[in-house]
Amino acid sequence: MQEQRAITDWLPLTMKEVQNRGWNEIDVVLISGDAYVDHPAFGTAVIGRIIEDEGFKVAIVAQPNWKDDLRDFKKFGKPKYFFGVTAGCMDSMVNHYTANKRLRSTDAYTPGGEAGFRPDYATIVYSKILKELYPDVPVLIGGIEASLRRVTHYDYWADKLFPSILEDSKADLLVYGMGDQPLRDMLKLLKKGVPFSNLETIKQVAFLQDKSEELPKNKNWETVALSSHEDCLEDKIKYAANFKIVEVESNKWDARRITQDIGNKRLVINPPYKTMTEAEIDRSFDLPYTRLPHPKYKKRGAIPAYDMIKFSVNMHRGCFGGCSFCTISAHQGKFIASRSEKSILNEVEEVVNHPEFKGYISDLGGPSANMYKMKGKDEDIC
């Protein structure tokens, strides 16, 4: 059995936990549509631990109430650097509705599987609230909902095309795909005193600028322009052509910067980072996760998404399948980033020491099938 853990082993969820650490200011506040499970399969935990690893004070607001006096959004006050916003591990609309547009009765990322703890279009709702409460604090959005809605996109539930989520959310910056690499570079720059508004030069981010402004200079990047949002509303073929460009550029060793006009603004999407090296992906997985839900959920019941993966080990990210019904390739990329055997075996050891371990590991693999260390025979072709 594991020894009893101290509450300070988790990232703080309450002001009392912040005070327990002797902090009088928080550098970054993360707002998430999921309950907080401190495990490398849950994006908020990974992002929080990376921020902590870079020497910043971070706190989490998990599943804030957006219908009351908004006290959850105010409980930590104004962070020194920025708010980070995610709808959670799923797009909030996929989380809420079936393919028949019926409301789901459960939510796998909430204690007791209870539904109703996050709004529709959660990233937009959270971001707008923060912009009203703290207009001068930058908001950074990420996670699968923000990532896959970064350009003009078809929303199945509204049955219409929406512009980039940056337009509707009023957020300052969007990180697409897996955020480990851009986030570390951002934090290093912020630590040096670079203002948040100058982070638009980092790879794998998207932002809006006035059409009258010049694109940030970068002699290493070619730029490709998509059909404007207004053109997409008029012509389905132009919309489809846009989608192809985004898909192709997201999976190149050396991608182009993408732009798209939306009214009098221009969306700018910087090229992605190259696939994480073994050392980089190990660094994310080897952070000091408790691998347990936060203790505050004890009386509210089990978190189904956590129960499913607590005895499994994720060995890689990415999937080269590119299946039309699945977003893993679109979000994690088609190149496989694999962990070292040492990192995997260390995690296996932690699973074995889990207080509820039954004697078997339920799964060793990746986000879809097991593609561990698979890659093209000749990567020059890639």
| Structure tokens given for 10 | 């988790």
The predicted model gives 264-269 an average pLDDT of 98
Q: Is the pLDDT score of 261 beyond 70?
A: yes
The predicted model gives 289-318 an average pLDDT of 95
Q: What is the pLDDT of residue 155?
A: 97
Q: Is the pLDDT score of 241 beyond 70?
A: yes
DSSP string, 82-122: EEEEE--SS-HHHHHB-TTSPBPSB-TTSGGGBS-SS-TTH
Mean pLDDT taken over the chain: 95
Residues facing 188 on adjacent strands: none
List, for residues 11-36, the tens digit of each pLDDT value.
999 999 999 999 999 999 999 999 99
Which of 197-201, 326-330, 351-355, 361-365 has the lowest average pLDDT?
A: 326-330
Q: Is the pLDDT score of 322 beyond 90?
A: no
Which of 246-260, 269-283, 323-337, 339-353 has the lowest average pLDDT?
A: 323-337
Q: Is the pLDDT score of 161 beyond 90?
A: yes
Buried-exposed string 338-350: b where 16+ CB fall within 10 A, e elsewhere: bbeeebbeebeee
Long-range contacts from 180-187, C-beta under 8 angstroms, 24+ separation: 180/46, 180/50, 180/276, 180/280, 180/281, 180/284, 181/273, 181/276, 181/280, 182/273, 183/47, 183/50, 183/51, 184/50, 184/54, 186/140, 187/50, 187/51, 187/54, 187/56
Q: How confident is the model at residue 377 (pLDDT cuts 50, 70, 90)?
A: confident
Backbone angles phi, psi at 207, to 5 degrees: -155, 165
Integer-rounded Cα Rg, in Å, for the chain is 20
Q: What is the pLDDT of residue 3?
A: 54
Q: How confident is the model at residue 382 (pLDDT cuts 50, 70, 90)?
A: low
The predicted model gives 171-180 an average pLDDT of 97
Q: Is the pLDDT score of 1 beyond 50?
A: no
Q: How confident is the model at residue 326 (pLDDT cuts 50, 70, 90)?
A: confident
Dihedral sign for Cα atoms in the order 28, 30, 31, 35: negative
Q: Is the pLDDT score of 223 beyond 70?
A: yes
List, for residues 64-91, the tens digit of each pLDDT value.
999 999 999 999 999 999 999 999 999 9
Which of 161-170, 248-257, 298-307 has the lowest average pLDDT?
A: 248-257
The predicted model gives 98-123 an average pLDDT of 97
Long-range contacts from 105-109, C-beta under 8 angstroms, 24+ separation: 106/304, 108/303, 108/304, 108/305, 108/308, 109/33, 109/34, 109/35, 109/303, 109/304, 109/305
The predicted model gives 220-244 an average pLDDT of 97
Angle, helix 180-191 to helix 43-53, in steps of 10 degrees: 30
Buried-exposed string 307-326: b where 16+ CB fall within 10 A, e elsewhere: eebbbebbbbbbbbeeeeee
Q: How confident is the model at residue 179 (pLDDT cuts 50, 70, 90)?
A: very high
153 HSE (CA, 13 A, CB side): 17
Q: Is the pLDDT score of 188 beyond 70?
A: yes
HEC string for 126-141: HHHHHHHHCCCCCEEE
Q: Is the pLDDT score of 94 beyond 70?
A: yes
| Structure tokens given for 364 | 């060793």
Neighbours of 105 (CB within 10 A): 10
Q: Is the pLDDT score of 55 beyond 90?
A: yes
Distance (Å) of CA 143 to CA 33, 269, 316: 10, 16, 18
Q: Model's pTM, two decimal places?
A: 0.95
| Chain Cα centroid distance, residue 153 | 18
Q: How confident is the model at residue 2 (pLDDT cuts 50, 70, 90)?
A: very low
Q: Is the pLDDT score of 128 beyond 50?
A: yes
